Structure 1
Amino acid sequence: MLRPLPLTEHCADPLSRAEHVCLGVSPFNSHFTVERIADLARWAMSGFRGFHFFVPDGPSAFTLEALGYDPVRAAQKAQRQGNYTRNKIIRALEQVCPSDPRTLILDAAVLETDPAYLGLLSEAHHRFATDPEFAAQCVGATGWVLDRRLPEGEHPTPDQLRSAVRYFLAELPMFVGTVAVAGVGSSVFAYHQRVPFLERLYRGELSWRPLPGQGFVVLEQAVPERAE
């Protein structure tokens, strides 16, 4: 059983409104099995009026480039992994959802033509280029991501961070404004891990703030209580 925890007090209202949830599914993350994705879909269908899965497949090439892949090979590997991830989501949704699974997936192919997403992406890059504090926080979040992909004891170099931060900037529009991308009045982005950057974002400590009605929840696996 999944239990959503609002990331900050700001996130409690969008969760209580239960209008929409966006479920993040990271490529190259073994956490997301078909069974776990199906569980996520069941949870979303039982608690919200609408939902989508977000797959940052195209931007994952930036992370691969930071890890040493040349751009062409990185793009090819990201595409293969994106196809694999989408297929897992489709198989999971076919088990539990009567809708066409493809209409419930927000991936690079969908978002690269979405005006709301592109507008937010442009804003993310503008703030990164003009706001040193915002940029530093984005780079810090990128380091958190890269640390988990590097061999034990290694830490990302400045060049690696500059390359990989493009992945994080591509995700930011969904954290700031899924409401705009999905065209809903309120939404929560749901993921199974806390990210310090997002706690600061939702506490209003950064120059960029989430759009009205936007929240974030951390999904925890609730342990059923045993009968006495």
Structure 2
Amino acid sequence: MPRPLPLTEHCADPLARAEHVCLGVSPFNSHFTVDRIADLARWAMSAFRGFHFFVPDGPSAFTLEALGYDPVRAAQKAQRQGNYTRNKIVRALGQICVPDPHALILDAAALEADSAYLGLLSEAHHRFATDPEFAEQCLGATGWVLDRRLPEGEHPTRDQLRSAVRYFLAELPMFVGTVAVAGVGSSVFAYHQRVAFLERLYRGELSWRPLPGQGFVVLEQAVPERVE
């Protein structure tokens, strides 16, 4: 089972309230095997009253465009990978007999009609366009994403960052307000890696702040105890 660590002191209370967790599953990331997703679901079911998986499938096309794919091919590749990722989640939830697994997946199709998500997405784009400091922080986080996709020794250009940042902006509503999207009083977004942008966000160092009741936890894999 994973061990959740609050990203900042602000995140400890939403974790302790144990109302809801949103589990991020990145397309094109081999970390998320069916067995690992099943383990995440077991943990979520045992530790929280409700949970969802977030799959940024449609927005992953923006990353592909920044890497050189034309928009049509990028969208096709993102759709195929999104289908593959959703199928893994459905298979994982089937292993542990979760009914109606599709209802627990927040992907582009589910969110494109969600008014809370769309409102937060509009706010993300507005702040990116009008707040230079916020925009630079978003571009920095986007560089962290792109660096892992480029050949060793290469770094993203400014144009690549401005193209790919649309992926990060599409994720931001979930970091800022899963509580609103899921319609719950408190929630934590859970992922297995730290991102410097999110530490600043949850420490209140950016112009945009998480909604009340929103937290973030870093998932560490628990080390099995040794039997002497």
Q: Deviations over 1:91-117 (max 9, x none)?
A: 000111432000000000000100000
Q: Deviations over 1:49-78 (max 9, x none)?
A: 000000000000000000000000000000
TM-score by length of 1: 0.99
Detail structure 1 runs of 4+ shifted over 4 Å in the superposition. none
Unaligned runs of 5+ in 2: none
SS of the aligned residue for 1:217 comes to strand
For 1:126 and 1:205, locate their aligned partners in 2 and report how far apart those are by CA, in whole Å. Answer: 18
Equivalence for 2:77: 77
Give the % identical residues: 92
Equivalence for 2:35: 35
The answer to whether the aligner puts 1:227 opposite 2:218 as a matched pair is: no
Q: Deviations over 1:27-61 (max 9, x none)?
A: 00000000000000000000000000000000000
Q: Deviations over 1:152-177 (max 9, x none)?
A: 00000011000000000000000000
For 1:137 and 1:213, locate their aligned partners in 2 and report how far apart those are by CA, in whole Å. Answer: 23
For 1:157 and 1:72, locate their aligned partners in 2 and report how far apart those are by CA, in whole Å. Answer: 22
1:222 Cα deviation after fit: 1.1
Equivalence for 1:200: 200
For 1:185 and 1:150, locate their aligned partners in 2 and report how far apart those are by CA, in whole Å. Answer: 40
Residue correspondences, number: 228
Unaligned runs of 5+ in 1: none
For 1:145 and 1:97, locate their aligned partners in 2 and report how far apart those are by CA, in whole Å. Answer: 34
For 1:78 and 1:156, locate their aligned partners in 2 and report how far apart those are by CA, in whole Å. Answer: 20
Q: Deviations over 1:128-185 (max 9, x none)?
A: 0000000000000000000000000000001100000000000000000000000000
SS of the aligned residue for 2:5 comes to strand
For 1:77 and 1:221, locate their aligned partners in 2 and report how far apart those are by CA, in whole Å. Answer: 30
SS of the aligned residue for 2:156 comes to coil
Which segment is superposed worse, 186-195 or 90-99? 90-99
1:224 Cα deviation after fit: 2.1
Q: Deviations over 1:177-226 (max 9, x none)?
A: 00000000000000000000000000000000000000000000111222
**CA RMSD across the alignment:** 0.6
SS of the aligned residue for 2:123 comes to helix
TM-score by length of 2: 0.99
